[in-house]
Amino acid sequence: MQDIKYCERCCKKISDLNTSDWYSHISIKYCQDCAEIVRKEKTAARVKELRKRKKAKEKEQLEYIKLLEAENKNLRRLFLPTERGDGNEQTEAGTPGLQSAVHML
C-alpha cells in the first residue's frame, strides 16, 4: 500500500495516508476533476454498449421477421397454390436469411 496516492488520470497527488482516513485512502483513485470525467466516460460507455445491444437485438428480430415472412410465403404457395399472383419471385431470397438466422440460434 502506497502512503501517498496520485490520480490515475492526471497524476496529481490525491491522498496521503497520514492525513486522510484509511478507507477513503484505499478507495480514492482520481482527483475530483478526473473522478467527474471518468464517471461521465463510464456512463457514456455504458449507454453506448446498451444502444449497441439494442441495435443487435432489433436486427435479430428483423431477421426473424424476414424468415417468418419467407416461410409464410412458401407455406402459402404450398397450401394455397392460387395465391401466387404477386409475380414476385423472392422466395429464394429468404433462404440466405434463413441460414444466417439459424447460425444465430
Cβ proximity to Zn ion, 8 vs 60, nearer residue = 8
CB of 36 to Zn ion, least distance (A): 10
φ, ψ (nearest 5 deg) of residue 78: -70, -45
Query: Alpha-carbon distance 98 to 46, whole Å?
Result: 32
The answer to whether residue 73 forms part of the interface with Zn ion (CB under 5 A) is: no
List 4, 10, 37, 47, residue binding Zn ion (CB under 5 A): 10
CB atoms under 10 Å from CB of 69, counted, come to: 13
DSSP symbol at 88: -
Q: Which of these ranges, 31-39, 54-62, 67-75, 95-103, lies near Zn ion under the rule CB under 5 A?
A: 31-39
Count, residues near Zn ion per rule CB under 5 A: 6
CB atoms under 10 Å from CB of 72, counted, come to: 11
Binding footprint of Zn ion on the chain (CB under 5 A) = 7, 9-10, 12, 31, 34
